[in-house]
Amino acid sequence: MAGGTFGRIAGLSGSLAVGLGAYGAHGFRRSDRDDYLKELFETANKYHFLHSLALLGVPHCRKPLLAGTLLTSGMAMFCGSLYYQAITADPALTKAAPLGGTLLIVGWAAMAL
């Protein structure tokens, strides 16, 4: 049951990553934002794509609810905080990125359980 849910989340997340990638390529990059904010956006989008794909593997591991929850939460915190800062130039959520990154690492390890 949990595995199928995370497969659907992977599809939604992947489509969101494509949409944000298009925004980054056609709108955001051509703006007058500084290079650091553009780099943050690119990093967020790269990790968003990679972990959307990782979610497709969640149904095939022994603990799909654990692995999927960790990966989804990590993606939201890591990518979300980077997207937010890149778009708004507000660093208020910056501290969420390291926690999100840690959740991504633990999520990958949970897939190995």
CA–CA gap between residue 29 and residue 46 (Å, rounded): 15
Arithmetic mean of pLDDT, 73-90: 96
Cα–Cα separations (whole angstroms), residue 55 to 58, 64, 89: 5, 9, 29
Structural domain range at position 87: 2-112
Whole-number Cα distances in Å, 72 to 9, 31, 38, 106 = 8, 30, 23, 11
Q: Tens of pLDDT along 19-33?
A: 999 998 887 766 677
Specify the pTM.
0.90
Residue 3: per-residue pLDDT: 63
Structural domains in the chain (count) = 1
